[in-house]
C-alpha cells in the first residue's frame, strides 16, 4: 500500500511517519501534487497554528490538491481544523471540506486549562474508523480550538462542552486527537484507516 | 473527562537510564527504550527523559536516543536537560520529541520561552521550576537546585505562562526525595492562578500522595522517578487505586 503524508510547515509530522512504520507501512512524506494524488491513502497531520499553515498550503498550491483528493484522507489535529470552513484562530479561512467552523475553548472554571492537554475519551463513535471499539476509549489530545458537534461528527469528547473529536464526509476523515500518540488504541485507529 | 496523567521520569546519562534497577522481567533496565516501553505498557500517560550528561558527546548520544525513542514509543514524551537555545529545541523536536522542558535557561533568559512558543507552539514548551520554601517565600533555584535566585515561584510561573509556556513542571525541592507527599498547597495555588496545566513533581512515596496531589493540589499530572524505578509503586496498581478514589484516570 502506498501511503503519502502531506509535507508542510506544521510540527510533529515525523511521529505520524513513525507510527505508520510501526504498522508495517513505509509512507512517503511529500508536497508533490502528483505523488499525493496517486497515493492509496493520504494523511494530513500536524500540530501548529491555523493561519501560517493555511498560508503555506496556499503558497504551495497544496490547498487545491488536498481538496481534489478522492482516496481516503485522514486529517489529524490542525489537519482536521484546516479541513473545516473557517477557524477562529487568527480569523483564518480554511479548506471548507467540512461545512463547520473551528472555535476557541472558553473555560468555565480555573480547572479547565487551555490547551486541553492529555488523555480524554472519544464517545458515540459511529464510523469504520473506530471498528472494534466497544467502549469510550482514551486518546491523546493537545489543542486550544475545537469543532462543535455537527452533521459530520463521528465521535464526541467532553471538555468545557461536548464537541467533535472526529469528523467524516465522503472520503475525508479527521481526528482532533493524535492517534499516532495514543498507544494501542491509536494504532487500532490508524490500522482501521489503512483498511478503508 | 480529561484524565489526570501519571508520568515516570527517566534520568539518562551517556544513553543509559541511571536509576532503573528493580524491574522484574526486564533484561536491560538500563535501556531507556525498554524501560519506557515497560512503563507505557503499565499505563504511563507520558514519559519524561532527562539528559543529565554534561558533555558535548553526551548530547549527541542523547539526540540519537531521542530518535530511537520516537520510533519505538507510541505515547507522548518530553525531553529535558541542557536546552539553552532555540537550536537545541529544534534538534530535539526534529529527532521526534513531542515536548521539551527548559529550566535554568528560561530563568537566565526568559525570552527563550517566547521564542519557543512562537517558533514551535506553546504545546511543546514545558517550563520546569525547582523551588524551595524560604523565610521570604517560595524561591526558584538554578542548576539543579544548587543556586538560589531572587525569583518568586508564583511570579515566575505566571510570567512563564504569559510568555507562552504550555505547561509548568513544578518540583518542590523540600519535598523531593523525602517521600512525604507533594507540595499540595503550593500546587493548589499554582493550579488556581495559571491557565495552563501544572505537573506535580517531588515527594511521591505512596499511592495516597498521588491522590492528594490531584484532590488537594489540583495538579493536572504527577511525575515521579524512584518509586516507579524501584518498583515500590506499580503504575497499573496506582492507576487502579486512583480510579477507585474517583479520580479520572486512563486505564
- B112-123 pLDDT, tens digit per residue, is 999 999 888 899
Residue of B nearest to A179 (CA): B74
Residue of B nearest to A142 (CA): B123
- A85-98 pLDDT, tens digit per residue, is 999 999 999 999 99
B122 reaches A (C-beta below 8 A): yes
Stretch B101-111: mean pLDDT: 96
* Model pLDDT, residue B26: 53
Nearest CB to B93 within list A11, A19, A113? A11
- Which residues, listed in sequence order, are joined to residue B148 by a DSSP beta bridge? B141
* Model pLDDT, residue A45: 93
* Model pLDDT, residue B3: 98
B90 reaches A (C-beta below 8 A): no
* Model pLDDT, residue B143: 82
CA distance, residue B146 to nearest chain A CA (Å): 31
Question: What is the percentage of chain A residues whose pLDDT exceeds 70?
Answer: 100
Nearest CB to A115 within list B166, B218, B221? B166
* Model pLDDT, residue A47: 83
Dihedral sign for Cα atoms in the order B67, B72, B77, B81: negative
* Model pLDDT, residue B19: 58
Question: What is the percentage of chain A residues whose pLDDT exceeds 90?
Answer: 90
How is residue B123 written as a grid cell?
Answer: 504545546
3-state per-residue secondary structure call for chain B: CCCCEEEEEEEEECCEECCCCCCCCCCCCCCHHHHHHHHHHHCCCCEEEEECCCCHHHHHHHHHHHHHHHHHCCCCEEEECCCCCHHHHHHHHHHCCCEEEECHHHHHCCHHHHHHHHHHCHHHEEEEEEEEEECCEEEEEEHHHCEEEEEEHHHHHHHHHHHCCCEEEEEECCCCCCCCCCCHHHHHHHHHHCCCCEEEECCCCCHHHHHHHHHCCCCCEEEECHHHHCCCCCHHHHHHHHHHCCCCCCC
* Model pLDDT, residue A29: 94
CA distance, residue B91 to nearest chain A CA (Å): 13
B164 reaches A (C-beta below 8 A): no
Mutation target to probe the B interface, by most B beta carbons within 10 A, among A21, A118, A186 is: A118
Task: Show which of residues 136-165 on chain A sit within 8 Å of chain B, judged by CB atoms.
Answer: 138, 140-142, 158-159
ipTM of the complex, rounded to two decimals: 0.92
Distance, in Å, from the CA atom of A157 to the CA atom of B3, rounded to the nearest integer, reads 12
- A118-155 pLDDT, tens digit per residue, is 999 999 999 999 999 999 999 999 999 999 999 999 99
pTM tops 0.90, yes or no: yes
The verdict on whether B130 is a catalytic residue reads: yes
Least confident of B55-69, B97-111, B161-175, B178-192: B55-69
Catalytic residue of the set B45, B51, B88, B130: B130
- Mean pLDDT, all residues of chain B: 92
The verdict on whether A84 is a catalytic residue reads: no
Residue A51 buriedness (CB in 10 A; 0-12 / 13-18 / 19+)? middle
- Mean pLDDT, all residues of chain A: 95
Amino acid at each position: 500500500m502506498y501511503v503519502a503524508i502531506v509535507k508542510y510547515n506544521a510540527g510533529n509530522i515525523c511521529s505520524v511517519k513513525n507510527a505508520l512504520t510501526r504498522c508495517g507501512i513505509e509512507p512517503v512524506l511529500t508536497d508533490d501534487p502528483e505523488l499525493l494524488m496517486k497515493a492509496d491513502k493520504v494523511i494530513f497531520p500536524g500540530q501548529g497554528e491555523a493561519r501560517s499553515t493555511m498560508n503555506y498550503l496556499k503558497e504551495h498550491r497544496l490547498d487545491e490538491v488536498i481538496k481534489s483528493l478522492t482516496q481516503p484522507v485522514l486529517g489529524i489535529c490542525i489537519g482536521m481544523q484546516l479541513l473545516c470552513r473557517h477557524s477562529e484562530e487568527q480569523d483564518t479561512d480554511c479548506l471548507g471540506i467540512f461545512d463547520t467552523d473551528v472555535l476557541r475553548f472558553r473555560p468555565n472554571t480555573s480547572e479547565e486549562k487551555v490547551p486541553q492537554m492529555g488523555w480524554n475519551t472519544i464517545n458515540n463513535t459511529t464510523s469504520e474508523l473506530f471498528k472494534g471499539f466497544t467502549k469510550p476509549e482514551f486518546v491523546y489530545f493537545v489543542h486550544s480550538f475545537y469543532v462543535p458537534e455537527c452533521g459530520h461528527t463521528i465521535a464526541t469528547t467532553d471538555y468545557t462542552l461536548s464537541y467533535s473529536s472526529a469528523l467524516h464526509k465522503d472520503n475525508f476523515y479527521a481526528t482532533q486527537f493524535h492517534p499516532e500518540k495514543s498507544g494501542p488504541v491509536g494504532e487500532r485507529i490508524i490500522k482501521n484507516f489503512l483498511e478503508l | 473527562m480529561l484524565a489526570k496523567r501519571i508520568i515516570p521520569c527517566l534520568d539518562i546519562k551517556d544513553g543509559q537510564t541511571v536509576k532503573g534497577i528493580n524491574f522484574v522481567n526486564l533484561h536491560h533496565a538500563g535501556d531507556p527504550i525498554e524501560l519506557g516501553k515497560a512503563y507505557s505498557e503499565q499505563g504511563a500517560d507520558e514519559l519524561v527523559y532527562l539528559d543529565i550528561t554534561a558533555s558535548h558527546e553526551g548530547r549527541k548520544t542523547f539526540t540519537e536516543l531521542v530518535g530511537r525513542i520516537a520510533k519505538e514509543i507510541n505515547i507522548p514524551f518530553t525531553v529535558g536537560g541542557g536546552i539553552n537555545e532555540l537550536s537545541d529545541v529544534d534538534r530535539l523536536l526534529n529527532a521526534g520529541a513531542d515536548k521539551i522542558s527548559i529550566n535554568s535557561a528560561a530563568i537566565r533568559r526568559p525570552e527563550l520561552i517566547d521564542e519557543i512558543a512562537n517558533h514551535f507552539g506553546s504545546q511543546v514548551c514545558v517550563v520546569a521550576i525547582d523551588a524551595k520554601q524560604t523565610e521570604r517565600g517560595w524561591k526558584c533555584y538554578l542548576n539543579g537546585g544548587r543556586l538560589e535566585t531572587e525569583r518568586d515561584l508564583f511570579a515566575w510561573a505566571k510570567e512563564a505562562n504569559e510568555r507562552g509556556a504550555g505547561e509548568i513542571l513544578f518540583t518542590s525541592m523540600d519535598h523531593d526525595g523525602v517521600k512525604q507527599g507533594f507540595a499540595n498547597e503550593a500546587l493548589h495555588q499554582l493550579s488556581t492562578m495559571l491557565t495552563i496545566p501544572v505537573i506535580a513533581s517531588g515527594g511521591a512515596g505512596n499511592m495516597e500522595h498521588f491522590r492528594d496531589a490531584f484532590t488537594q493540589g489540583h495538579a493536572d499530572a504527577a511525575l515521579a522517578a524512584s518509586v516507579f524505578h524501584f518498583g515500590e509503586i506499580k503504575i497499573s496498581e496506582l492507576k487502579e487505586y486512583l480510579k477507585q478514589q474517583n479520580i479520572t484516570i486512563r486505564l
